[in-house]
Amino acid sequence: MNRRRFLKYASGLLFASLPGFNLFYGCDGKQQTAEAFIGKVAGYDENIAAVISAGFRELNVTENEIRGKRVLLKPNLVEPHRGMGHITTHPLLLRGAIEAFMGFGAHEVLVAEGPGHCRDSFRVLEESGLTDILREDRIRFMDLNYQSWFTVPNAGHATRLKSLTFPTILKEVDWIVSVPKMKTHHWAGVTLSMKNLFGVMPGMFYGWPKNVFHAAGIESAILDINATLKPHFAIVDGIVGMEGDGPIMGTPKTAGVLVMGKNLPAVDATSCRIMGINPRKVRYLADATGLGPIQEPIILQRGETIKSVHTSFSLLDKIEAHRRLMVESS
């Protein structure tokens, strides 16, 4: 992040703190919006690349935006569990994303992850079933836990952390794409594209499972990471997600959807509504002012309607973060 970009964001935070000011109203007084695409996908054997490419077109992502660019896909490979496809982003979903970006002219697509629960990233990669896909498609994998790094000021200021340290590869690519699993979460309520970016933070700095951010406050850390990194796109794997005691101990939940967009709060809010969860009850989404809208009327829905794919995910009363989500609110 350069000085000009940082000052621009900091100024936005200052104005956002003023009574009655909403960052999603431009200087012309018009309310700013975001877009989210929902695509139906019944199973991982379908033509996922075609659905993602259709989403690009619906979201006005042109070949000119992708041609010649380096694209980093960040899946959710939280922990090694062979044959437990509801825990990690599915390899065939990643293959579809790779094919879609390459079909739009990307110079290179690579996959990168820094697993939070296991120090051996390549063991996690192997157990996920992704190794064969990457080998066959000749796609590089980057272990973000042990990369060289760079440090920038914390642009979010939601935690007390003054700076954040990222793997160097993140400033060498043109597109950072969060490719999470659609899951409930026992601390954050839900884990989607914004929470998935915990995995870009190097374990050699932040510990396992990113203990520094747990101590600083998970929800606040999500905001800081997203505000500072400014990811470019999200593709949520909701073909088979996880309900109950996620992100690891829950049970499979078939939703049959992909949710995509350039604005991660809008994508996550849309995903929540598909899951039967009010995004205003998810603390980090409710506090995402300046990062993106979560209000349904100002998220321009592309593809399928939320109603047509609505699939309620089970929440557990014994989990505090879930109890907050159970409170009825319009």
Both structure tokens of 89: 């982003």
The predicted pLDDT at position 21 comes to 31
Question: pLDDT confidence of 122, banded at 50, 70, 90?
Answer: confident
Out of 70-84, 100-114, 307-321, which region has the weakest mean confidence (pLDDT)?
Answer: 70-84
The predicted pLDDT at position 120 comes to 74
156 Cα distance to chain centroid: 17
Cβ pair 295, 289 in contact under 8 A:
no
Separation between Cα atoms, residue 221 and residue 197, nearest integer Å = 10
Question: Quick check: is 76 in a domain?
Answer: yes
- Residue 275: CATH number of its domain: 3.40.50.11440
- Reduce the DSSP state of residue 183 to 3 states and report it: strand
Q: pLDDT tens, 1-27? A: 444 444 444 444 443 443 323 344 444
Residue 67 has, within 13 A of its CA and on its CB side, a CA count of: 3
Question: Quick check: is 21 in a domain?
Answer: no
Separation between Cα atoms, residue 109 and residue 263, nearest integer Å = 20
Question: Quick check: is 168 in a domain?
Answer: yes
Question: Quick check: is 17 in a domain?
Answer: no
Question: Quick check: is 121 in a domain?
Answer: yes
Cβ pair 51, 96 in contact under 8 A:
yes
Q: pLDDT tens, 171-187? A: 999 999 999 999 999 99
Within a 10 A sphere around the Cβ of 295, how many other Cβ atoms?
14
Within a 10 A sphere around the Cβ of 101, how many other Cβ atoms?
26
Question: Quick check: is 18 in a domain?
Answer: no
Cα 39–Cα 40–Cα 43 angle in degrees, nearest 5: 125
Separation between Cα atoms, residue 124 and residue 134, nearest integer Å = 14
Q: Identify the H or E element spanning 39.
A: strand 34-40
Q: pLDDT tens, 226-259? A: 999 999 999 999 999 999 999 988 999 999 999 9
Cβ pair 321, 191 in contact under 8 A:
no
Q: Inter-axis angle of helices 121-128 and 130-137, to 10 degrees?
A: 90
Structural domain including 64 reads 30-326
Residues in the chain: 330
Domain count, the chain: 1
Question: Quick check: is 239 in a domain?
Answer: yes
Separation between Cα atoms, residue 55 and residue 301, nearest integer Å = 11
For the chain, the average pLDDT equals: 89
For the segment 287-303, the average pLDDT, to the nearest whole number, is 95
pLDDT over 70 percentage in the chain: 87
Q: Inter-axis angle of helices 91-103 and 130-137, to 10 degrees?
A: 20
Cβ pair 202, 116 in contact under 8 A:
no
DSSP 31: B
Separation between Cα atoms, residue 85 and residue 164, nearest integer Å = 31
